[in-house]
A and B are shown apart, each in its own frame.
Chain A
Amino acid sequence: MKHTLFAGTAVAALLSAGAAMAADGILVGHIADITGATSAVGKPYGQGIADAMNYINANGGVAGQKIIFETVDYAYEVPRAMAAYKKLTGSTKATAIQGWGTGDTEALVSSVAKDEIPYFSASYSGHLTDPKGATSVKGAPYNFFYGPSYSDACRGLVQWAHEDWKKKGGSGKPKFVHMGDNHPYPNAPKMACGAYAKELGFDIGNEIQYSLKPGDFKAQCLSLKESGAHYAYLGNTSGSTISLLKSCETVGVTTQFLANIWGTDESSLKATGEAADKLVWVVGAATWNDDTPGMKLVKEISKISDPTGAEARPVHYIRAICSVYYMKEAMEAAAKAGGINGPNIKKAMETHAKDWVPAGLEGVCLPSTWTGDDHRGTTTVKVYQASTKGGTIGMKQVYTADIPRRKEWLGW
């Protein structure tokens, strides 16, 4: 609780008064949800972004320059994100932005393209992956994110469900239901994932809506029970998932739940208890206890806000570090190619390397490749399953889906 999310931003706060001082470093916007509807996952992710940028500053910066950033808590309200963006593109234009939600990121697609500001979102909406507008309504040339898109992640979950159904010897068609709030983020993969589930032989039930804010979801659980769904995709974030799983446990729902990448994490499994047993979800990077070479750097970065190094960070924190380090290496490449600016960063992101893993984060970030035509960094989906019976919390990787890069799926 005592972590200083804004540790490095104290410097930035001082500097923000004088935009001209951005000339002394690289101005990077940081738009985060620290107190809003998705703050249960937004706060650790925002902490990861801030820690990574502070760590980079403490270790020589980017190509000899410090990152100047100010964390703006927009509380998951799109108008506040728009206002923050306007501020970031005011007298001194941000070189890049580390952003957050789907609603705001999608609303800013045209603006960041016009202003040539690479926007590294924590929204993994498939709509952001088509840089040229080849298959989608509009292109998103300056949008990048680290991890599989929501659509690909959901396809990965559906693949696992397909295997699971076969393994269990299920007869007939299994039934799949999409659940989530009526909001851009839970809705982002709905059509794409439903179409793939149908292609695999699932029956698709009517979607069930439940709020992003935690609450009493027994009514929705009873509807789910009535629907007879075998598999249900949960599109909301962890706070809401906790309530839903608890509510569904009380009314005896036996559906296998499939949560998206923000749908649960270590703390949320603990909070949900036995109701989370057998929950399946997507993890987009190594986890805190994984024995991989890159975790050494993650743990050093973590000491920025937790000098004792005692706190185990959730998966979202680690993905945030990946997001910053891809940006950092793209900025370094841009510096060598003529200067750290938006177009050069974009070019570096698209040409830097195939199966790119930032130096020092080997085994942590999934190898990713962005090209000028395709911003699906990775289509590898690591599927985990929780075990929470008897008071112990376990999470184990049970499946890896390699989703094909079908052309028609770009931007969907």
Chain B
Amino acid sequence: MGSSLFLQLLVNGLIVGTLYGVVAMCFVLIYKSTQVVNFAQGEFLLIGAWTCWWLVTSMALPFYVAFPMTFVFMMIFGIALQMIVLRPLIGEPVISVIMVTIGLSIFFQAVMKSIFGVWAQPFPEIFPVKSVDILGLSVQPAYLMSLVVSVVIMGAFAWFFKYSRMGLAMRATAFNQQVAQSLGISVKAVFATAWAISAMVSALAGVVVGMVNGVSSALSFFGIKVFPAVIVGGLDSIIGAVLGGLIIGVLENLAEYTDSQFLHVGNLYTVAPFYVLVIILMIKPYGLFGTKTIERV
């Protein structure tokens, strides 16, 4: 039974890890193109999940209509946020922008609580709740869906950065904003696109997690949990974000296994990713795939 629990937790970790990877990619996307670490990323999940929940429950729209509508809303939200709040900060010290994102996270938390309350609300059942049996392991349909969608998104990100004009423009902007601008790339458009994509993709994760656990303000904590994944993978690496997400997802589940079977110290599930965060920062501060900055002094 112990080995079955191990396998079950391993699979659980891999599935949750892909979701972490998706949100981590959103962190990286914004950082790569704008040099901003967005501490309001968790609130993007929250806003997306509440929006979809509201469309499904209050507006009585079918999920397959509400879901794309949520994406459209989040795209507009991301662009508007960048234009109204973040664009005026271009050229300001990075720490100012980071502080603004922290402020935004607190602001969005408060707004969501005042609109939707503090109670967790369930999504109407879209996928069967009971897990399905795959090779003797039970896997939840909503998470299976999220696994598929996450892999598709990861593929789409890879294609986007390699072949699309905007993706190439983003890479150029990340490399050197001034040079990119001199080549005719609209840095403002790049920034807006980065925030829009990040908001949309975060919303997807929010909806998936919300379907499983109910929608509540606690969803935004997901943003904090993803942070170790981003640091482990490297703040500016999309591949790193994916791998970091998987590492953290598996790690916290295996920490639960070790704790429940052997150590019994409690809470290892929650703290293990942060231990890893500290260790990685000590031995490889740029993460597994992050770019090592060389500064001439």
> Which A positions have Cβ atoms within 8 angstroms of B?
1, 34-35, 39-40, 42-43, 182, 206-209, 211, 213-220, 222-223, 225-227, 238-239, 242-243, 246-247, 249-252, 267-268, 271-275
Contacts and interface: CB of A to CB of B under 8 A. Distances in A.
12 contacts: A42-B118, A43-B117, A182-B266, A214-B214, A217-B213, A223-B5, A239-B216, A246-B212, A247-B213, A250-B129, A271-B122, A273-B122
B214 A246 contact: yes
A88 B2 CA distance: 54
B5 A243 contact: no
Given A250-B212, A268-B119, 10 more contacts: A1-B117, A34-B118, A182-B267, A214-B120, A214-B218, A216-B209, A223-B260, A226-B260, A238-B120, A246-B212
Contacts, number: 119
Given A35-B113, A40-B119, A220 B212 contact: no
B186 interface: no
A190 B129 CA distance: 32
Nearest to A43: B118
Interface residues of B, number: 41
B212 A216 contact: yes
B12 A219 contact: yes
Contacts of B270: 209, 211
A209 B267 contact: yes
Contact of B260 (A39, A206, A239, A275): A206
Contacts of B118: 34-35, 39-40, 42-43, 239
Given A271-B120, A271-B214, A222 B221 contact: no
A218 to B, nearest CB: 6
Interface of B: 1-2, 5, 8-9, 12-13, 16, 110, 113-114, 117-122, 129-131, 138, 140, 209, 212-214, 216, 218-219, 221, 252-253, 256-257, 260-261, 264, 266-267, 269-270
Contacts of A252: 130-131, 138
Contact of B256 (A219, A243, A275): A219
A251 B138 contact: yes
A227 B270 CA distance: 20
Nearest to A38: B118
Contacts of A217: 213
Given A219-B256, A242-B214, A247-B213, A206 B264 contact: yes
Contacts of B257: 219, 223
The secondary structure that dominates the B interface is helix
B125 to A, nearest CB: 8
A223 B218 contact: no
B133 to A, nearest CB: 10
B266 A219 contact: no
Given A215-B221, A222-B5, A40 B120 contact: yes
A274 B128 CA distance: 12
Nearest to B269: A219
Contacts of B266: 182, 207, 209
Given A222-B8, A226-B1, A226-B2, A267 B119 contact: yes
Contacts of B260: 206, 208, 223, 226-227
A274 B16 CA distance: 24
B119 A35 contact: no
Contacts of B269: 209, 219-220
A191 to B, nearest CB: 14
A384 B113 CA distance: 30
A169 B148 CA distance: 46
Contacts of A267: 119
